[in-house]
Amino acid sequence: MSIRGKAFIAGVYEHPLREATGKTVPQLHAEVAKGALEDAGLTKDDIDAYYCAGDVPGLGPLNQAEYMGLNVAQFDSTEVGGSSYVAHVNHAAQAIAMGHCKVALITLAGRPRADAKENYRTRPGGGPPADYAFEAPFRPVVTNMYGMAAMRHMHEYGTTSEQLAWVKVAASHHAQHNEHAMLRNVVTVEDVVNSPMISDPLHRLDCCVMSDGGGAVIVVAPEIAAQLKRPVVKVLGAGEAIKHLNGGKVDLTYSGARWSGPKAFEEAGVTPADIKYASIYDSFTITVVETLEDLGFCAKGDGGKFVADGNLISGVGKLPFNTDGGGLCNNHPTDRGGITKVIEAVRQLRGEAHPKVQVPNCDIALAHGTGGLLGSRMGSATLIMGGADA
Amino acid sequence: MSELNGMNRPSKVRAPRVNDETKGFWDATAEGKLLVKHCNSCGENHFYPRSFCPFCFSDDTEYLETTGRGTIYTYSVMRRTKEPWAIAYVTLDEGPTMMTNLIDCDFDKLEIGQPVKVVFIDTGEGTAVPFFAPA
């Protein structure tokens, strides 16, 4: 049993807001769901499965299904940070392949910027995990946890700040064409390495934006896909992995993509050389460099050289990535970007990316999500998709 | 390094939340001892300490007192704040790599591979937190 060719992505919608003052989180989830349904040409009553993660307040699918009036036979609240939504596509495809459901809805939404302005938080909380007492005193925050991974990668492989900067430069070249992107100015390697040092060796422009907004994806069975007017995208393969500190045998030079990638390529029956476009989770520039190595686009340690000289810029380099501007320039809704990675890959496969960044004859694309921290524990999810004829 | 003693120490260290599984570790910190867990079944040491060995899943584990010495595996200095701090992973001579902060040091002279030793800072609540300084 495989998901290959058994499920199709039929509708997507990315929330246009980057600050959602005046809207509630359940409301934002409903808005992106509605948008994706309209894109697919389906209605709410067609949905028989719902997937969400920890950004839904309360008990995930229970509260949100009630808010939206859904009657679902299948649900999943797998919470692995920003990689959740890429994993959800895999889970939905599996459920569809197994005949458990026919129309699955996946949503992400939140409003950290609006919360900060309106002085309240809507995120759910929980008791501390076992690692907390051994880490919290040392003030691990997102930037220094990715900084430690970058520092070690540089030490072992000679990766440079200039090489990391090329990831941001490529994202900015793409973002200039996205009217919704937060940062639309094209930047240079010098701009990145001369921006303020945040946490060694990561500069401000090595870091992604913080934004509100969100997105949604509709995954359907083949018989539904055949009835729809809009171009559909075939799910070819997926892989998931959790990578952690391994009892103290710490190695920060690779990500969970080392395991999720090969599984996805095997199921899809393709190799990295077949990928025409890649959405790579870009919380930081180092995230992209390690992920590209782990997915097999280059040898371990060669990521810095691989991304240099515009190799990720559409129309210029060998591997066009994040043509919406990615997390580095476009958006990073509620600090998690997995769903926008799937959405831009769908745009590319439908031929609906911005004409300036559309990859010609884009028949096979990859989306990779990274959740949690490259410097400790993370969820990794890889999804490979093709056009309807792939 | 005496002129660096007291440099870059946090102004306040919050007491950890101690539970039955980790009480042995935190009790030892009050006596200036840094422990890791040792597995009597497979012989591996692990950190953070837990009842089950994360390598072979045996529950035959016991605390092992370390020398408190190790080397810097990696670090990152948070610069965009009034009081910068250096988060790090230190690989202990006994094997496991643990998260910490580097103190009593010049942040601009840190190096991966540099020898370091544990320095406990009292939380005032019967425990101490293991920081590291250049050896």
Domain around A186? 136-211+234-387
Task: Give the CATH number, domain containing residue A57.
Answer: 3.40.47.10
Tell whether A39 is covered by a domain: yes
* Predicted local distance difference test score (pLDDT) of residue A353: 98
* Predicted local distance difference test score (pLDDT) of residue A126: 37
Residue of B nearest to A202 (CA): B76
Residue with tokens 């303020």, as numbered in its chain: A196
Hey, is the C-beta of B77 within 8 angstroms of any chain A C-beta? yes
Q: Which residues of B touch A246 (CB under 8 A)?
A: 54
Q: Which residues of B touch A202 (CB under 8 A)?
A: 76
* Predicted local distance difference test score (pLDDT) of residue A127: 47
Residues A193 and A291 in one domain: yes
* Predicted local distance difference test score (pLDDT) of residue B74: 98
Residues A34 and A105 in one domain: yes
Nearest-by-Cβ selection for A135 from B53, B74, B99: B99
Q: Which residues of A touch B70 (CB under 8 A)?
A: none
Nearest-by-Cβ selection for B54 from A141, A152, A247: A247
- Whether A221 and A96 have beta carbons less than 8 Å apart is answered as yes
pLDDT digits (tens, 9 = 90+) for B35-57: 999 999 999 999 999 888 899 98
Residues A207 and A266 in one domain: yes
Query: Which of A141, A243, A245, A253 to mutate to probe the B interface, most B CBs <10 Å?
Result: A245
Residue of A nearest to B129 (CA): A137
Residue of B nearest to A136 (CA): B16
Query: Does residue B1 register a pLDDT over 60?
Result: no
Q: Which residues of A touch B101 (CB under 8 A)?
A: 137-139
Nearest-by-Cβ selection for B112 from A137, A139, A155: A155
Tell whether A274 is covered by a domain: yes
Tell whether A19 is covered by a domain: yes
* Predicted local distance difference test score (pLDDT) of residue A120: 52
Residue contact A376–B95, C-beta within 8 A: no
Hey, is the C-beta of A249 within 8 angstroms of any chain B C-beta? yes
Tell whether A127 is covered by a domain: no
* Predicted local distance difference test score (pLDDT) of residue B104: 96
Domain total in chain A = 2
| φ and ψ of B84, to 5 deg | -55, 150
* Predicted local distance difference test score (pLDDT) of residue A129: 77
pTM passes above 0.95: no
Lowest mean pLDDT among A51-60, A77-86, B76-85, B90-99: A51-60
- Whether A219 and A354 have beta carbons less than 8 Å apart is answered as no
Residues A24 and A80 in one domain: yes
Strands A197-199 and B97-102: unpaired
Amino acid identity for residue B64 in this structure: L
Q: What is the pLDDT along chain A (390 residues), one digit of tens a residue?
A: 799 999 999 999 999 999 998 888 889 999 999 999 999 999 999 999 999 998 988 777 888 888 898 988 888 999 999 999 999 999 999 999 988 899 999 999 998 888 888 755 544 433 467 888 999 999 999 999 999 999 999 999 999 999 999 999 999 999 999 999 999 999 999 999 999 999 999 999 999 999 999 999 999 999 999 999 999 999 999 999 889 999 999 999 999 999 999 999 999 999 999 999 999 999 999 999 999 999 999 999 999 999 999 999 999 999 999 999 999 999 999 999 899 999 999 999 999 999 999 999 999 999 999 999 999 999 999 999 999 888
Query: Which of A250, A290, A373 to mutate to probe the B interface, most B CBs <10 Å?
Result: A250
The domain segmentation of chain B, as residue ranges, is: 17-134
* Predicted local distance difference test score (pLDDT) of residue A125: 37
Residues A140 and A189 in one domain: yes
* Predicted local distance difference test score (pLDDT) of residue A112: 87
Residues A307 and A204 in one domain: yes
Written out in words, the top-level CATH class of the domain with range B17-134 is: mainly beta
Residues A292 and A257 in one domain: yes
* Predicted local distance difference test score (pLDDT) of residue A74: 85
What CA–CA distance (Å, rounded) separates A347 from A326?
13
Tell whether A128 is covered by a domain: no
* Predicted local distance difference test score (pLDDT) of residue B29: 98
Q: Which residues of A touch B73 (CB under 8 A)?
A: 152, 250, 252
- Report the residue count for chain A: 390
Residues A293 and A370 in one domain: yes
Residues A26 and A164 in one domain: no
Q: Which residues of A touch B75 (CB under 8 A)?
A: 148, 151, 200
Residues A220 and A322 in one domain: no
Residues A279 and A378 in one domain: yes
* Predicted local distance difference test score (pLDDT) of residue A124: 43
Residues A160 and A289 in one domain: yes
Residue of B nearest to A129 (CA): B17
Query: Which of B29, B76, B127, B129 to mutate to probe the A interface, most A CBs <10 Å?
Result: B76
CA distance to partner chain A, nearest, from residue B97 (Å): 5
Q: Which residues of A touch B16 (CB under 8 A)?
A: 133-134, 136-137
Hey, is the C-beta of B105 within 8 angstroms of any chain A C-beta? no
Tell whether A131 is covered by a domain: no
